[in-house]
A and B are shown apart, each in its own frame.
Chain A
Amino acid sequence: MELDHGLVSDTRTSVRGVWGALGAPHFSQSPRLVSVLVGGLAAVLVLYPIAYLVQASLSVGDPQARPPEAYGLDNFIGLGRYAHIFGNTLLVAAIATVFAVIFGFTMGWILSRTNVPGRAAFEQLMALPYYVTPLMGALAWALIASPNSGFVNQIWRALGGEGYVVDINTPGGIAWVMALFEGSVAFVMIGAVMKSMDPAMEEASQVLGAGRVRTMLRITLPLVLPGVLGAAVFVFAEMLGSFSAALVLGLPARFYVVTTAMYQMVSQYPPRFPTAAAMGVSLFAVMFAMVWLYRRIVSAGTYVTITGKAFRPRVMDVGGLRWPFLGVCVAYLAVAVILPVLTITYASFQHLNSAIPRASNFTLANYKTALSLDAVGSALGNSLLLGLATASIGVLLMGFLSWLIYRSRLPGAGLIEYLLMFPQAVPRLVFAFGMLWAWLIFPIPIYGTLWLLLIAYLTVFLPLGLRTISGVILQIDRSLEESAQMCGATWGYRLRTVTMPLLKPGLIAAWLLLFIASVRELGASILLMGPKAKVITPAIVESWFSASTELTAAMAALQTLAVVAALVLLFAVARRAVQHGGE
């Protein structure tokens, strides 16, 4: 993004002038080498499996043959007969993105920019929907709002009503669940941007007579536009690849999206990899269009809100609107967390779930069974370990890559962004086949180990980390780093003392997102798990397939409990470390 106005722009020009006069390069050799290496490594992580996917999509011989027996475009030509499935996918992804961005922006604005009561507590609670896995959310809403057995409809009929009042097995219902549980990332992304925003412009707007709403629409919204757009692009891509909600809620309505169709293709014998791969590869076009759109929008304006001028993020006094805003926060948490968690917990203690409690229907057997399975022993431990490793390594890697793309001026940095968004474009189950084929023949024996899952997670979550961190990077004026450079700070010193502290909110948000995303990852894990390297989410999904909703509910409840406990512990340790550091 270019700066083109005011003092900041002048400062940069003068910095350039000084450096130009000194004959110093904009980008010295050492960081250039590091950047090329890291950028290259990330590109290889993505392109290596993609190459196998593209190869599979062009296979026109025996669908099981590896490498393909013959090549052609038949698989792409044949996609026309799945037009209704592509249509379904775009429909629910679009509705879900609109829902998610509205939820994310509204909640982000209320909690970051207004003096709503209990703001700090709500901010912590807002991460909770992301802890609830999409499968758990979908199962919960199936229990709540299925036309016949949904608790709401059961209660409705018990009160004398007829038929049903809600039906979650509709495109709107699927999009609702997707937005609540897979779109909650929008709040984190938009919220991180809002927190990093200097309130001076909003205050100036109000001083000049604009009302609160007008200030929000005319000042706040345009300033956070990169974050909102980044979140929208990311969420839309996430929704294209959404699986659990469409699987649980779509199948009963004979409503298929690309991911559920692909799942069927690769699950049946013989697996139809070429068609599934062609479907996946065709989604690249959509993703490219979204990334192109995003870059075009952010490069057309200026979104810098953090400049050399000091500021403290402040909130607006919204007067009496505080209470309606509080109601919005409570309502959101109720539908996204409280209701689903209570429903799942309630179902997990039943033989056969029912809204109407009966003493004979309650049992601890589901927990007893769940705890006896490997999936809730070693697999949960593995998931938490992988979550820690992915989040910690991922934040460093993705933070650096964000800086590389938006700050380094390295030739081809823009291209790296396109490459790194690839994993977001393909449903992970299909991408996992690319990784399976790619890493199977890799000479270092990591196949079947947790190392492969770590590599897979770092690859598939590149877009998530990148989008979260880059939304904040775009708000930091380049002149701050350049000032440090002027003062003689080395590249590493600048990164450590200027860029990284300013990126802190984005980095913390990214760490949290990566941790949770890793623990609940499904698509890539299904195929890449080895007999001694298992993770929990596939086992939960499998339990829904082959055991019962009640056992699945118990496993999902245990997973959520473990994730929350791990995070509480981590934050407590981190707080203590910071306090000791302060002393």
Chain B
Amino acid sequence: MSDADKSGLTRRGFLKTGALVAATPLLVEVPFAAAQSTAKNVTKVHDFQTSADVAKAEQEGEVVYYGHDSEQGIAILLEAFRKDFPKIKTSYVRLQTGALYAKITAERSAGRFGVDVLQLSDISPAIDFQKKGGWEQYMSPEYAAYKPEYQSTPAGYFGVPGVGFSGIAYNRGKVKPEQAPKTWKDINNPAFKDGISVKLATSGMQHAQWYILRKMFGNDFWQEFAKQRPKGFDARAQLFDRLAKGEDRVCALAEYAGYTLYQEKGAEIEFVAPPEGMPAIAIYVGVVNKAPHPEAAKLFVDWALSKRGQAVYQNQKILLYGSLRPDAGPMPTGKKLADFKLLFPTDMNDYVASHPIFVKEWNSIMGL
């Protein structure tokens, strides 16, 4: 029996807490007391709280991070941590979530435990990793600042250091103002045929959009979309690169973070926040079980979830994840996460179960 099984984790249990239902109001108070009951020796470092033994973490001298963000994004994140803790070196492996998860599970199944901190961009592997006993249950004192739905069930396995969301974007030079998309249904405007882009089935954000709009408009919506002969790409940079150059006229999965980067470069693009709301997904970070540098790993997770770490996640434009902390300031664009109407999957069980259907349908839409 895995550690997770021992802890009584079930998918239903996870769902009962309504994990990641950001659109729903806060129903219960943050279980800080519970967190405190298991936390040991909470200390304050810089301006955040940690249960890690900081001296020991510095003695360990290293934290090995596996993540999904861009090379540049991870470098900035780890550099910020290293600046706060110069005695702790950082190293990392960067892969897309699917390949990253395959790598870490293959390593662990072979008895190799070289990772301290794991960050994933999809809930499905995060839950699977929990089931396999991959996360170390560590009650970060910083969880106190997060609603319970932004934590694993039971708490302590992983937290949510940020949220990404997507609207629609178009090239101003290629789309006339009267044709500009305003609602989600406009992505099926025949005028955009052969000129519209989305992400491939590798993307967690694409899964969320497919799931939410399917719930909203029915499955015919995506069948209609298939007639547009959309072009699929792996990452947002490719989508915005093509949009900015006019190779595509409309991007149907325009991540806000990507938009701000290209807008800053002077690209002639426009972002549309449809009135129905924007599909959003969270990212997940936690301490890995049997980490070679456990105290440094805990310190990193505390830092990442703290206001200090969140400033990096949220304010660095290459990352630009909205913070779920109530005390987080605005994003560099001047807006807070609460300023946007975000749509999260509300039934995580159904959402996770829909993934194979999504992959099959989306591959077909992409011509794969």
Contact status of A542 and B70, CB under 8 A, knowing A268-B98, A352-B244, A374-B75: yes
Q: Does A225 belong to the interface (CB within 8 Å)?
A: no
Contacts of B71 in A (CB 8 A): 373-375, 539, 542-543, 546-547
Q: Which residue of B lies closest to A551 (CB)?
A: B72
Contact (Cβ within 8 A) B367 A548: no
Contact (Cβ within 8 A) A251 B232: yes
Contact (Cβ within 8 A) B265 A352: yes
Q: Does A112 belong to the interface (CB within 8 Å)?
A: no
A98 to B184, CA, bound (A): 46
A-B contact count (CB 8 A): 150
Residue interface bits B328-368, CB-to-A below 8 A is 1, else 0: 00000000000000000000000000010001000100111
Pick from B93, B106, B124: contact of A531, CB under 8 Å: B93
List CB contacts (< 8 Å) of B220-238 with chain A.
229, 231-238
A351 to B110, CA, bound (A): 45
A526 to B204, CA, bound (A): 21
New A-B pairs, 19, CB < 8 Å, besides A254-B367, A436-B103, A441-B110: A148-B246, A251-B231, A254-B229, A254-B232, A261-B368, A266-B99, A267-B99, A268-B202, A273-B102, A352-B245, A360-B266, A373-B75, A375-B71, A441-B111, A526-B95, A530-B114, A531-B91, A531-B92, A548-B237
List CB contacts (< 8 Å) of B101-132 with chain A.
101-103, 105-107, 109-112, 114, 122, 124-125, 128
Q: Which residue of B lies closest to A439 (CB)?
A: B110
Q: Does B270 belong to the interface (CB within 8 Å)?
A: no
In the complex, 27 of the A-B residue pairs with CB atoms within 8 angstroms, ordered by the A residue number, are A147-B247, A251-B232, A252-B231, A252-B247, A254-B367, A264-B202, A264-B368, A266-B102, A268-B202, A269-B125, A271-B101, A271-B102, A273-B102, A351-B266, A352-B267, A369-B72, A373-B72, A373-B75, A374-B75, A437-B110, A447-B110, A531-B65, A544-B237, A545-B96, A546-B71, A546-B73, A548-B265
Pick from B106, B244, B247: contact of A146, CB under 8 Å: B247
Pick from B114, B125, B246: contact of A448, CB under 8 Å: B114
Q: Does B200 belong to the interface (CB within 8 Å)?
A: yes
Q: Which residue of A lies closest to B363 (CB)?
A: A264
A64 to B125, CA, bound (A): 11
A545 to B204, CA, bound (A): 15
Contact (Cβ within 8 A) B99 A271: yes
Q: Distance in Å from the Cβ of A555 to the closest Cβ of chain B? A: 9
Q: Distance in Å from the Cβ of A501 to the closest Cβ of chain B? A: 45
Contact (Cβ within 8 A) B234 A545: yes
Contact (Cβ within 8 A) B110 A440: yes
A268 to B121, CA, bound (A): 12
Contact status of A440 and B112, CB under 8 A, knowing A261-B368, A526-B99: yes
Residue interface bits B44-60, CB-to-A below 8 A is 1, else 0: 00000000000000000
Pick from B112, B200, B201: contact of A447, CB under 8 Å: B112
A433 to B238, CA, bound (A): 26
Contacts of A264 in B (CB 8 A): 200-202, 363, 368
Q: Distance in Å from the Cβ of A22 to the closest Cβ of chain B? A: 54
Pick from A351, A372, A375: contact of B265, CB under 8 Å: A351
Contacts of B232 in A (CB 8 A): 251, 254
Contacts of B102 in A (CB 8 A): 64, 266, 271, 273, 433
Q: Does A575 belong to the interface (CB within 8 Å)?
A: no
Q: Distance in Å from the Cβ of A111 to the closest Cβ of chain B? A: 38
Q: Does B242 belong to the interface (CB within 8 Å)?
A: yes
A14 to B122, CA, bound (A): 73
Residue interface bits A192-230, CB-to-B below 8 A is 1, else 0: 000000000000000000000000000000000000000
Q: Does A3 belong to the interface (CB within 8 Å)?
A: no
List residues of chain A with CB under 8 Å of any chain B CB: 64, 66, 85, 146-149, 251-254, 256, 261, 264, 266-271, 273, 351-353, 360-361, 369, 372-375, 433, 436-437, 440-441, 447-448, 526-527, 529-532, 539, 542-549, 551
Contacts of A64 in B (CB 8 A): 102, 105
Q: Does B97 belong to the interface (CB within 8 Å)?
A: yes
Q: Which residue of B lies closest to A256 (CB)?
A: B368
Contact status of A542 and B94, CB under 8 A, knowing A267-B99, A268-B202, A440-B107: yes
Contact (Cβ within 8 A) B233 A267: no
Pick from A252, A530, A531, A543: contact of B72, CB under 8 Å: A543
Contacts of B242 in A (CB 8 A): 252
Q: Does B241 belong to the interface (CB within 8 Å)?
A: yes
5 tightest A-B contacts by CB? A546-B70, A149-B245, A531-B91, A440-B110, A254-B367
A543 to B265, CA, bound (A): 17
Contact (Cβ within 8 A) A531 B114: yes
Q: Does B64 belong to the interface (CB within 8 Å)?
A: yes
Contact status of A549 and B70, CB under 8 A, knowing A148-B247, A149-B246, A267-B234: no
Q: Which residue of B lies closest to A354 (CB)?
A: B245
Contact (Cβ within 8 A) B245 A148: yes
Pick from B75, B106, B368: contact of A66, CB under 8 Å: B106
Contact (Cβ within 8 A) B106 A440: yes
A547 to B238, CA, bound (A): 8
Contact status of A545 and B72, CB under 8 A, knowing A64-B105, A146-B245, A531-B64: no
Q: Which residue of A lies closest to B264 (CB)?
A: A351
Q: Which residue of A lies closest to B108 (CB)?
A: A440
Contact (Cβ within 8 A) A527 B246: no
Contact (Cβ within 8 A) A267 B202: yes
A267 to B242, CA, bound (A): 22
A539 to B70, CA, bound (A): 9
Q: Distance in Å from the Cβ of A249 to the closest Cβ of chain B? A: 12
Contact (Cβ within 8 A) B122 A269: yes
Q: Distance in Å from the Cβ of A539 to the closest Cβ of chain B? A: 5
Contacts of B246 in A (CB 8 A): 148-149
Pick from B65, B98, B233: contact of A251, CB under 8 Å: B233
A148 to B243, CA, bound (A): 11
A64 to B104, CA, bound (A): 12
Contact status of A543 and B70, CB under 8 A, knowing A251-B232, A266-B102: yes
Q: Distance in Å from the Cβ of B279 to the closest Cβ of chain A? A: 17
A543 to B69, CA, bound (A): 11
A440 to B281, CA, bound (A): 33
Contact status of A547 and B237, CB under 8 A, knowing A252-B242, A256-B368, A440-B107: yes
Contacts of A551 in B (CB 8 A): 72
Contact (Cβ within 8 A) A66 B109: yes
Contacts of A543 in B (CB 8 A): 70-72
Q: Distance in Å from the Cβ of A536 to the closest Cβ of chain B? A: 11
Contact (Cβ within 8 A) A527 B99: yes
Q: Which residue of B lies closest to A82 (CB)?
A: B368
Contact (Cβ within 8 A) A269 B106: no
Contact (Cβ within 8 A) B96 A267: yes
Contacts of B114 in A (CB 8 A): 448, 530-531
Q: Which residue of B lies closest to A448 (CB)?
A: B114
Contact (Cβ within 8 A) B91 A256: no
Q: Distance in Å from the Cβ of B249 to the closest Cβ of chain A? A: 9
Contacts of A372 in B (CB 8 A): 75
A544 to B235, CA, bound (A): 9
Q: Which residue of B lies closest to A528 (CB)?
A: B103
Contact (Cβ within 8 A) B109 A545: no
Q: Which residue of B lies closest to A273 (CB)?
A: B102
Pick from B73, B112, B247, B318: contact of A149, CB under 8 Å: B247
A270 to B124, CA, bound (A): 9
A256 to B98, CA, bound (A): 20
Contacts of B64 in A (CB 8 A): 531
Q: Which residue of A lies closest to B115 (CB)?
A: A531
Contact (Cβ within 8 A) A269 B95: no
Contacts of A546 in B (CB 8 A): 69-73, 235-237
A529 to B93, CA, bound (A): 8
Q: Distance in Å from the Cβ of A567 to the closest Cβ of chain B? A: 26
The residue in A268, A351, A352 that gathers the most chain B C-beta atoms within 10 A of its C-beta is: A268
Contacts of A261 in B (CB 8 A): 368
Contacts of A374 in B (CB 8 A): 71, 75
Contact (Cβ within 8 A) B266 A545: no
Contacts of A526 in B (CB 8 A): 95, 99
